Structures are given as structure tokens and as C-alpha cells.
Structure 1
Amino acid sequence: MSAHCMLTGAQPGFGNRISHSHRRTPRRFDPNVQSRRYWLPSEGRRVRLRLSARGIRTVDTIGVEAAVARIRARGIRV
């Protein structure tokens, strides 16, 4: 589960590489997933979240408390 965003659920997409001769070989489109630590004031501890770039912007917009609530609503343990 390394290339999954905990908040948005972004996961790898699959497609084909197409060479100059137009041969097709399988490839993966991985989301830009990064590990970030946030201070969670309600629990008095830091939480480590694996978020995509869009997920990081979402946390900046809605706040870490609401983001953790959404992650837990998806059934992911934080």
C-alpha cells in the first residue's frame, strides 16, 4: 500500500509505454505520495500521514482535525 493517499484515496493508474517504434509495454502512473507529520491537538500527539500532493493541500484547507476524521471514516487507522 505504498503508493496510496490516506485522505483522497489516490492510487496508481496503469497504462502503456509507447516507444518510438510504437511497441507497447506496461507501466504505472504513481501519485505523488509523501509522508508528513502533523500535530493533532485533540490527542496531544503527532500523527504521520501518507498523503498525495492534493491531500496535503486539502489538509491545509480543512485542517488536520477534519482530515483525520475523514481518514478514520474511510476505515484507516491513524
Structure 2
Amino acid sequence: MSRRCELTGKGALVGNNVSHANNKSKRRFLPNLNDVTLMSETLGRSVKLRISAHALRSVDHRGGLDAFLAKAKDDELSPRARDLKKEIAKAVAAN
């Protein structure tokens, strides 16, 4: 399982641990990923995703999963999220 947000594409970054004596050693900065279940209003079902805490706040700010995916760029989304976005778009077009 990769350490990458399924909605924003946020992943691990690389940097240095710097000691008091200015010795440097490599380290990784990992994103704050959470396993969450979000409800899709148009599909009428819940979806399990692994997203960052920042993405969870963005989903709430935009008014839910459907609104977030409608505005999201396809290249940032995971393949599962991309399929979900297409499924939601089809359901909206049908109604």
C-alpha cells in the first residue's frame, strides 16, 4: 500500500535530520493518511478511501465527496477515485 492520498495525490517527501553538531542524515516526511468512509449523495452509498487529513478538510469545505470530485483534476486522483468520479458524473447526467 503506497503512502499517497487517493484524492489529492499528496505523498512522502525526503529531507534531512540535522543534529546539534550539524550532522545530516536522510529522513522521510510522511503524509497524515487516514482510512475514512465517505458518503456519496448521488450514488446513495458509502466509499472507503485512504486520504490525508488535509484532503478530508477540503472535502468538508467543498460540501461533500461529490462536489470535491467534480472539481478535482483527473491526474491527481487515484484510479479508484477516477472511476468513482466517472460513476458520479454518469449518475448526475442520468437525473
TM-score by length of 2: 0.67
1:1-46 per-position Cα deviation (integer Å, ceiling 9, x unaligned)? 5321122211111011112222211100111111110111222221
Structure 1 residue 60 corresponds to structure 2 residue 60? yes
Change (3 A) 1:36 1:52: same
The structure number with the bigger radius of gyration is 2
RMSD: 1.9
Moved over 6 A (4+): none
Give me the whole-angstrom Cα distance separating, in 1, the residues matched to 2:39 and 2:68.
12
Aligned length: 77
In structure 2, runs of 5+ residues without a counterpart are 82-95
Which structure carries more helix by proportion? 2
TM-score (norm 1): 0.79
Q: Percent identity?
A: 38
Counterpart of 1:3 in structure 2 is 3
